[in-house]
A and B are shown apart, each in its own frame.
Chain A
Amino acid sequence: MVAKRLALGLLTLIIISLLIFLGVELLPGDVAEAILGQSALPETVAAFRKELKLDLPAHIRYFSWLGDLAKGEFGNSLANGRPIADLIGWRFSNTLFLATVAALIAVPVAIILGILAALYRNSLFDRLISMATLSTISFPEFFVAYILIALLSVQIIIFPSISNINEQMSLFEKIHAIFLPCLTLTLVVVAHMMRQTRAAIINIMASPFIEMARLKGLNRTRIIVLHAFPNALSPVINVVAINLAYLVVGVVVVEVVFVYPGLGQLLVDSVSKRDIPVVQASGLIFATVYIGLNLLADVLSIISNPRLRNPK
């Protein structure tokens, strides 16, 4: 079962790589034209194409690109000729850092709020939480980001509005620097996870084994945390994975707003410079993260089911 999911994940990844490649192929003109500009002579363009091996048929170029990727060779950037791996490497780790810190805050907060909302279902607290999380999710990220900047960086100067981090900074300094983008991301992703947790728990609360737990005289917190929550794990894991993937992939706008040196920022820059190999490589990295996290969610929700974990 797990092996099947893994194989499917790999297949999805290959299809995505094909789509990315085809997407770039479909663009009018090619890299050679893009670099040399519209005024270039046809002979120059043709010679340059040959140099970049763009004159080869599409399927051969696709497979050689795929082969290079498998070996970890991303090729060189067209804009500045540097290896793409160097460009992406540290930016990607910055993006992961931001996403991880945001996730470490958002996931526990969302699950605890979800459990509390289920515990005090239909109370004022439940409604307030629902309203608050729904409001934050209803605004676009950049809006939430600018509001936070206005409040916490302009009105009261606590956090920087530009989240620049570098190697020399200590962990604490880094976290201080990225606090605002982190908060923005948290506010955006908490709602989904919290509502799914609440709904999954409430759904389980109608089961006969919950009635049995009540009739054993257990207290409500124990019933929800020990009896309902473990059985609600599967839907919760899935929504958490989708939101984690969103954290990594969806940070583009947030990174741009806070001028954070991450992969999203690089992607936006490369698109404006028509640096197609970098765009392709970044796209593939995002796809890998997305698929990887969803795969992990599938595997975890299989493992979280005691029937599958402990066969007869």
Chain B
Amino acid sequence: MGKILDIKNLKIEGYSNEKWVEIVHGIDLTLDKGEVLGLIGESGAGKSTIGLASMAYTRQGCRIASGSIVFDGMELFGASKETFRKIRGSRIAYVAQSAAASFNPAHRLIKQYAEAPVQHGLMDFAEAEQKAIDIYRRLLLPDPEKIGYRYPHQVSGGQLQRAMVAMAMSCQPDIIVFDEPTTALDVTTQIEVLAAIKHITEQFDMAAIYITHDLAVVAQLADRIMVLRYGNLVEEGEARTLLDNPKEAYTKDLLSVRTFRKPTDQNDHNQNIILKVQDVSASYTGKEMVLEDINLKIRRGKTVALVGESGSGKSTLARVITGLLPPLQGQIIFEGKELPPDLKSRNREHLRQMQMIYQMPDTAVNPRQKIRKIIGRPLSFYFGMDRKKRENRIIELLEMTELPEKYIERYPGELSGGEKQRICIARALAANPNLIICDEVTSALDQLVAEEILKLLQRLQNELGVSYLFITHDLATVKAISDEIVVMLQGRIVEQGEKQEILTPPHHEYTDLLLSSVPEMNPDWLDNLLAERQAAQSL
């Protein structure tokens, strides 16, 4: 098969601190016709930048410094804007991470679908409309005849992502660049989109560049994988070979599965219960229930993982427990005593015992305060410590969270994402809490960084005996850290119990769906799963 794309010695520069800095250091990339290439790496690896560069496009503040990008015999580096315009959309198409942001909110889906083929002069609107309906049908979108006439905000996230795949298909391009197309989706929705992408690339024999940070996802689709780090190539190889037999240490790290939690002692049952949520129902509007009949217990020094998809009410439950949203019914019992439902009527001691760590460390700390002030604030607020004592305690907390002492003088902006999350952990610990609510604390972090954070949380629990309520949609995290698991669906608890118990079959139907939807490294996983589900349906 012939090469459709041949990139040689590609160097890309980014503009920062008033000078151009090289961020992609001479990458070679080739793509055969009909081949799916996986680009994998953590944030900052340059994978999106390279993906966009294959369309000779760079984001604001970036530029292609040198190299050659040959698409179907045409040199794109240094070509005219008119050449780019003719190729983009018609011969190379792009699928972005967030369909919600990448569809124009002002136009109907089908109009946006038809725009590229009509503007490139390939067909008229009526023909494009017919094709759109055909592709919507192939992508198994519900009501394919009508769904195109909706506005982007009128369809669900997974459907919108598939509509964007359809839009990329509209000119039957030679290459589609998929840029993390399933990262923002729940596991069960991710399956639909992955299946759609696999189906469509095979059916039309299209070449694709699939960009992701999740090896298990890329394993399902790619023929060949390139592992990138800091703008350099780490390793490249046939998908199966690379997954079975990674050569570089970094690839091995990415492949390693997280398990560092020993199974819980079954004798722990009598350990005292620190938090009890009793018959709680809650609502934002007073009409629609967001939570119904929630009962759960958290034991001292243990971790309860709260699992569910977006919209299942996990974060709302955290808001009820902390008093941000007083429940309509039910009680929150902490250390045997009922807490006032409303945050305002809780006293300082109530507040101190429960702390939160959030998903986005960037927005959870004030960027204009030094670390000293961020961690020092709870120390003076809860314990009235003077300057000297505070200083010692802050240094102690930094040590506990494995951060150097000198960070006390720094601003959050000078820290990496993982370090900022450690600051948030230190701030929560500063209050000496008995319970920490961790709301998706690792979701915004790269895989390896997230693992370090989980290890840290585990160590702190062993040392301090603090309990965690761990809210997450990531089942790998759950397996790694939890003692008990609570599964939520549409505001109700569908299953709860010890980790072993929940993770061993037979499962509740929904738990089974969640567990089976987590991609595995095995490249045949998706095909097998889809076949299984189809078989189950036809029974």
Give the B-binding residues of A (Cβ under 8 A).
Answer: 206-209, 211-219, 222, 226-227, 230-231, 306-307, 310, 312
Minimal beta-carbon separation of A91 from chain B (angstroms): 42
Nearest A residue to B94 via CB reads A215
Least CB distance, A182 to chain B, in whole angstroms: 33
A214 touches B102 (CB 8 A): no
Taking A212-B94, A217-B84 as contacts, is the C-beta distance between A312 and B89 under 8 angstroms? no
Docked CA distance A211–B177 (Å): 14
Shortest CB–CB separation between residue B391 and chain A, in angstroms? 42
Q: Are A307 and B151 touching (Cβ within 8 A)?
A: yes
B98: shortest Cβ distance to chain A, in Å?
A: 7
Q: Give chain B nearest CB distance to A247 CB in angstroms.
A: 28
Evaluate contact between B151 and A306: CB separation under 8 angstroms.
Answer: yes
Give chain A residues whose Cβ lies under 8 Å from the Cβ of B60: 206
A306 touches B153 (CB 8 A): yes
Residues of chain B with a CB closer than 8 A to A218's CB? 85, 89, 115-116, 119
Chain B positions 55-71 with a Cβ under 8 Å from a chain A Cβ: 55, 57, 59-60
Q: For A222, what are the chain B residues with a Cβ–Cβ distance below 8 Å? A: 119
Question: With A207-B101, A310-B154 known to touch, is A231 a contact of B106 (CB < 8 Å)?
Answer: yes
Is residue B319 contacting chain A, with contact meaning CB distance below 8 A? no
- Judging by beta carbons under 8 Å apart, are B89 and A216 in contact? yes
Instruction: Report which of A206, A209, A215, A226 forms a contact with B103, defined as CB distance below 8 A.
Output: A209
Cβ-defined contact, A214 with B154, below 8 A? no
Main secondary structure of the interface of A (DSSP, over half): helix
CB atoms of A208 and B57 under 8 A apart:
no
With CB as the reference atom, state the residue of chain B lying closest to A227: B104
By beta carbon, the residue of chain A nearest B90 is: A217
A207 to B120, CA, bound (A): 23
Q: Is the CB of B93 within 8 A of A215?
A: yes
- Given that A212-B96, A312-B154 are known contacts, is A217 also in contact with B101, CB under 8 Å in the complex? no
Q: Does B88 contact A (CB under 8 A)?
A: yes
**What is the CA–CA distance of A226 and B115 in the complex, to the nearest angstrom?**
11
User: Which chain A residue has the least Cβ–Cβ distance from B98?
Assistant: A208
A-B contacts, 5 of them at CB < 8 A, read: A209-B101, A216-B88, A218-B115, A227-B106, A306-B153
A307 to B105, CA, bound (A): 8
The CA-CA distance from A212 to B152 in the complex, in Å, is 14
Structural contact, B102 and A209, CB atoms closer than 8 A: yes
Contact of B115 with A216 in the complex, beta carbons under 8 Å:
yes
A217 touches B151 (CB 8 A): no
User: Given A208-B96, A217-B120, A222-B119, are A231 and B105 neighbors across the interface (CB < 8 Å)?
Assistant: yes
**Is the CB of B533 closer than 8 A to any CB of chain A?**
no
Q: Which residues of B pack against A, CB within 8 Å?
A: 52, 55, 57, 59-60, 84-90, 93-94, 96, 98, 101-107, 115-116, 119-120, 150-151, 153-154
With both chains docked as a complex, state the minimum distance between the C-beta of B152 and any C-beta of chain A, in angstroms: 8
Residues in B whose Cβ lies below 8 Å from that of A230: 104, 106-107
Given A209-B104, A231-B106, A306-B153, the answer on whether A215 and B119 have CB atoms closer than 8 Å is: no
Docked-complex contact B106 and A217, CB < 8 angstroms? no
A226 and B112 CA atoms in complex are apart in Å by 11
- By a CB distance below 8 angstroms, the chain B residues around A207 are 101
With a cutoff of 8 Å between Cβ atoms, the chain A residues found around residue B119 in the complex are: 216-219, 222
Chain B residues near A219: list those with CB within 8 A: 85, 119
Q: Which residues of A contact B89 (CB under 8 A)?
A: 215-218
Residues on B with C-beta less than 8 A from A211 are 59, 96, 102
- Chain A residues with Cβ below 8 Å from B86 are 217
- Nearest neighbor of A216 in chain B, beta-carbon distance: B89
Complex: how many Å from CA A3 to CA B354? Answer: 44
In angstroms, Cα B84 to Cα A213, docked, is 13
Contact (Cβ within 8 A) A307 B153: yes
Q: Which residues of B contact A231 (CB under 8 A)?
A: 104-106
Judging by beta carbons under 8 Å apart, are B153 and A215 in contact?
no
Minimum CB distance partner of A305 in chain B? B105
Partner of B85 from A209, A212, A217, A227 at Cβ < 8 Å: A217
Chain A residues whose CB sits within 8 angstroms of the CB of B94 once the complex forms: 212, 215
A209 partner residues in chain B, CB cutoff 8 A = 101-105
What is the bound-complex CA distance between A207 and B102, given in angstroms?
A: 8
- Complex CA distance for A226 and B119, rounded to whole angstroms: 13
Q: Which residues of B contact A307 (CB under 8 A)?
A: 105, 151, 153
> Please, which residues of chain A bring their CB within 8 A of the CB of B85?
217-219
Q: Would B101 and A215 count as touching, CB distance under 8 A?
A: no
A312 to B153, Cβ gap below 8 A?
A: yes
What CA separation (Å) do A212 and B101 show in the bound complex?
9
Chain A residues, CB < 8 A from B116: 216-218
Cβ–Cβ < 8 Å partners of A227 in chain B: 104, 106-107
Which residue of chain A lies nearest to B104 when distances are taken between CB atoms in the complex?
A: A209
Interface centre among A231, A306, A312 (most CB of B within 10 A): A306
Which 6 pairs from chain A and chain B are nearest by CB?
A: A216-B89, A217-B89, A217-B88, A230-B106, A208-B101, A215-B94
Q: Which residues of the other chain, A, contact B151 by a CB distance below 8 angstroms?
A: 306-307, 310
Query: In angstroms, how far is the closest chain B Cβ from the Cβ of A237?
Result: 14
Given known contacts A208-B96, A218-B115, A306-B153, A213 and B104 CB-to-CB distance under 8 angstroms: yes
Q: Which of B59, B87, B105, B107 contacts A217 (CB 8 A)?
A: B87
Instruction: Output the residue of B86, B94, B96, B106 with the most chain A CB within 10 A.
Output: B106
User: How far is A253 from B86 in the complex, measured between Cα atoms in Å?
Assistant: 55
Give, as a whole number of angstroms, the nearest-CB distance from A99 to chain B. 30
Instruction: Write the nearest CB–CB distance from B465 to chain A, whole angstroms.
Output: 45
A226 — which chain B residues lie within 8 A by C-beta?
A: 107
Q: How far is the CA of A204 from the CA of B89 in the complex (A)?
A: 21
Say how far A114's CB is from chain B's closest CB, in angstroms.
18
- Which of A208, A226, A307 has most chain B Cβ within 10 Å? A208
Closest residue to A229 on the B side, CB-wise? B106
A75 to chain B, nearest CB (A): 49
Q: Are A215 and B88 in contact (CB under 8 A)?
A: yes
| Contact B55 A215, beta carbon cutoff 8 Å | yes
User: Quick one: which of A213, A217, A218, A310 has the most chain B CB within 10 A?
Assistant: A217
List B contacts of A310 (CB < 8 A). Answer: 150-151, 153-154
Cα A288 to Cα B106 in complex, Å, equals: 32
A215 neighbours in B (Cβ, 8 Å) = 52, 55, 57, 88-89, 93-94
CA distance A218 to B55 in the complex (A): 14
Within 8 Å CB of A217, what residues of B?
A: 84-90, 116, 119-120
Q: What chain B residues lie within 8 Å of A206 (beta carbons)?
A: 60
If A211-B59, A216-B119, A310-B154 are given as contacts, then 9 extra A-B residue pairs at C-beta distance below 8 Å, sorted by A number, are A206-B60, A209-B103, A215-B52, A215-B94, A217-B85, A218-B89, A218-B116, A306-B106, A312-B154
Q: Is the beta-carbon distance between B102 and A306 smaller than 8 angstroms?
A: no
- How far is A208 from B93 in the complex, measured between Cα atoms in Å? 15
Question: What is the bound-complex CA distance between A219 and B120, given in angstroms?
Answer: 10
| Neighbouring B residues of A306 by C-beta, 8 Å | 105-106, 151, 153
Q: Which residues of chain A are within 8 angstroms of B120 by Cβ–Cβ distance?
A: 217
Once the chains are docked, how many angstroms separate the CA of A306 from the CA of B86? 30
Per the bound structure, the CA–CA distance linking A16 and B296 in Å amounts to: 57
Q: How far is the CA of A208 from the CA of B60 in the complex (A)?
A: 12
A310 to B152, CA, bound (A): 10
Write the nearest CB–CB distance from A183 to chain B, whole angstroms: 34
CB distance from B110 to the nearest CB of A (A): 14
In whole angstroms, what is the CA distance A208 to B105 when docked? 11
A222 and B102 CA atoms in complex are apart in Å by 17
Contacts of B150 in A (CB 8 A): 310
Q: Would you give the shortest CB distance from A42 to chain B, in whole angstroms? A: 63
